[in-house]
Amino acid sequence: MKRMTLSLVIHNHQPVGNFDFVFAQAAERAYDPMLAALERHPAVRPALHYTGPLLDWLSVHRPDHLERLRTLVERGQVELLTSAYYEPVLVALPDADKVGQIRKMSRFLRESFGCEPTGAWLAERVWEPHLPKPLAEAGVRYTLLDDTHFKMVGLTDDDLFGSYVTEEQGYTLQVFGSSMLLRYAIPWRPVEEVMGWLREQAEAHPGGVAVMGDDGEKFGLWPGTWEHCWGEEGWMDRFFSALEESGEWLATRPLGEVAAEMEPLGRIYLPCGSYEEMMRWALPPDDFAALGRVRRELEAQGRQDVLRFVRGGLWRSFMARYDEVNQMHKRALWVSRKVHRMPEGREKAQALDHLWAAQCNCGYWHGLFGGIYLFHIRVANYGHLIAAEEMADRAASPVPWARVERGDLDADGHEEVVLNTDQQVLVFKPSYGGALVEWDWRDRRYNLLNTMTRRREGYHEELVAAAREGRLVLPGQTEVPDGVRVKEPGIHTRLFHDWYRRAALLDHFLHPETTLEAFYQARYGEQGDFVEQPYVARVEGGEGAVVLELAREGGVWVGDRQVAVRVEKGIALEAGSSDLWVRYRLTNLGDGPASLRFGVEVNWGVVGGDSKYGELRVAEGESRRLSDLGEQSAVSTLVVASRLPDLAGEVALSLSRPAHLWHFPLEAVANSEAGYERVYQGTCTLLWWEVALELGRPWGVEFRFALNAAHAIDR
């Protein structure tokens, strides 16, 4: 019988900005044991993929691991795949960045391991039909995708024991289908069962190739997997031994060898897609739940003939679901254009590297865990974006500078206004409440407004149902049938959902009976139409300063009558200054006096704000955590500070009129491997006043924000 080939592709990744201890633990529990197993089983010949952030960390902290890997490559046992260096979702990048990142990775592999990669790993296996062209231009000859992509165009499992050729504008690419069955079986099903399935396929598809590509972290890093894979159970060694003992009918070979020798089975054009779970996660919450029910029903009925055509949404839908994802993505496009206009040289190369690091995919989507809700990952992405833009701006402008940039930055059909100085970058959305949606502090390489709006997620339905049916399981409690683990009692009562985007300089008119608790829960009566409605923008630029004037004439309900009110806010920045001035002016346009409760909301994105490193100071000597819920009257000064060593700094606010302060944490209820938990995403501050607004007598207040770096605030 002609031997069948098994091609294993193992993908090892840690994102830009992840904690050192996670890198170290992953190396110790997953990456090291895999190399050791391959050293013990020389006939097992897989392809491995390491992402750039992981390679960078290993180069500094674990060069011995890379040396062992180099030995396996040199003896022909391991093939290394290329990719975009910092593991971005490739479809989200301009073509120049796609090609540039892949060439960077291929160059690293060539110089460090002496190999010429021909295959590429695609982050999250996200595919769109235009990809063959940039991949081919970067020197890639083949890639692998989930079998889901192929089944959506009518192929079955029996059609996937070989590659297909696809193209874009005549640029060709071989594509292999990775078996979902093998992805779920290795290393979870008994070794004998996996080998039995492979034997059946070898008899049915002699000379074919079965492909399995998946995350290396599941081989030891995921909870419970180290003991299963490498401990007493020793699943991986038993599996590798079984592969070696089956050499008469099965060969394990790197996928690149197969691609070079095996003729494609035919031509194919694949639709936009990713792995099955990702496409479900991309759906809105109700559809996420509905698709899960539909799939379970079809599986129970054995309708595999229908299931292969049932799919979820597109990866790009995350940019529609999360304003924060879209903001970061479109800022990356904005910065990319600036960086690519820089003159060639060392500074441009450094700026490109920061830009590419900012494109690392983990902060641009969300599944069941982590993703955009991982605060430290968002911080890292923004840090690199801010660094790249500063390099590009300094190359184009003498220091200091203050200028205005205008354009549809976030691609929503409306113009944004960017106030850009050598110290700060502020992004305003006149179309959405005249809100400040990004505030970059260049000295700290930090976006001060890096928060998350509280949203419904598809998996919240599971939590609510389990609470209703008494199936919640706390730490230390005995498991119950269909139990749902939670890390604290009553967490289902913390599902607060915001009706507007959490940003800064949001203008509220509150009902006089609104309480802090009601505002915290987003269950209150908004009396005005200013929070998310358009403002008119006017920009003034002078020598060394920029001023943005925003104004809206709207209505505010006072009892049973609506009063016409004009809100004006002026924002001023100076070149070389770390201060920001904001001036508010309210004018009564109605036919009589009005008593109003007016508030200005700012949402602060200070990572670690729920720890001892985050501080909210409302009076000298009176310090609170940023995760506290509270209020204070007669506030004239307010300090928001971080004591984290790498980000230490503070924003000091002074007011021309004392205000009442409400403050509370913004927390997402997210799933994790240990159960549902609250995850800190920022702090909301609302400064409000009781305003007696007379006809012909405007009311005003002025804010002065001062950014102070660590050296100025050591205490």
CA proximity to 144, closest of 117, 167, 162, 169: 162
> Which of helix, strand or coil describes residue 357?
helix
d(CA 687, CA 612): 24
- Report the alpha-carbon distance of residue 293 to residue 297 in Å, rounded: 6
Amino acid of residue 384: H
Q: Are 32 and 236 in contact (CB under 8 A)?
A: no
Catalytic residue among 168, 215, 415, 529: 215
Query: Based on the number of CB atoms within 10 Å of its own CB, is 421 exposed (0-12), middle (13-18) or buried (19 or more)?
Result: buried
CA distance 403 to 16: 31
Q: Peptide bond before 400: cis, by omega within 30 degrees of 0?
A: yes
| Token digits of residue 91 | 């479809």
Active site residue 215: yes
Q: Which residue from 537, 336, 363, 350 is spatially nearest to 436, judged by alpha carbons?
A: 537
Task: Please state, in angstroms and rounded to a whole number, the distance separating the CA atoms of residues 705 and 112.
Answer: 48
CA–CA dist 58, 81 (Å, integer)? 17
Name 545's Cβ contacts closer than 8 Å, sequence gap at least 6: 402, 572, 573, 574, 575
Reading phi first (left if > 0) and then psi (alpha if -120 to 50, else beta), residue 644 is in beta
Q: Which of 79, 97, 124, 217 is catalytic?
A: 124
- Residue whose token pair is 């170290």: 24
What contacts 563, CB < 8 A, 6 or more positions away? Answer: 555, 556, 557, 588, 589, 590, 592, 594, 596, 693
Closest residue by Cα to residue 627 from 646, 613, 647: 613
Angstrom distance (rounded) from CA 55 to CA 13: 9
Residue 341 corresponds to which amino acid?
R
Question: In sequence order, what E strands does 203-354 have?
Answer: 209-215, 250-252
d(CA 42, CA 36): 10
HEC per residue, 54-115: HHHHHHHHCHHHHHHHHHHHHCCCCEECECCCCCCCHHHCCHHHHHHHHHHHHHHHHHHHCC
Cα distance between residue 450 and residue 407, in whole Å:
21
How far apart are the C-alpha atoms of 652 and 616, rounded to whole Å?
A: 10
**568 and 585 Cβ atoms separated by less than 8 Å:** yes
Is the sign of the CA dihedral 405, 427, 501, 446 positive or negative?
positive
Alpha carbon of residue 68 to chain centroid: 32
The structure tokens listed for 272 are 């936009």
Q: Is 114 exposed, middle or buried (0-12, 13-18, 19+ CB in 10 A)?
A: exposed
CA geometry: angle 123, 129, 134, nearest 5 deg: 65
Annotated catalytic residue 124: yes
Distant-in-sequence, close-in-space partners of 664: CB < 8 Å, separation ≥ 6? 516, 519, 520, 628, 629, 630, 683, 684
Report yes or no: 654 and 704 within 8 Å, Cβ to Cβ.
yes
Q: Which residue has the tokens 């205000």?
A: 659
Integer Cα distance of 565 and 675 in angstroms: 48
Active-site annotation, residues = 124, 215
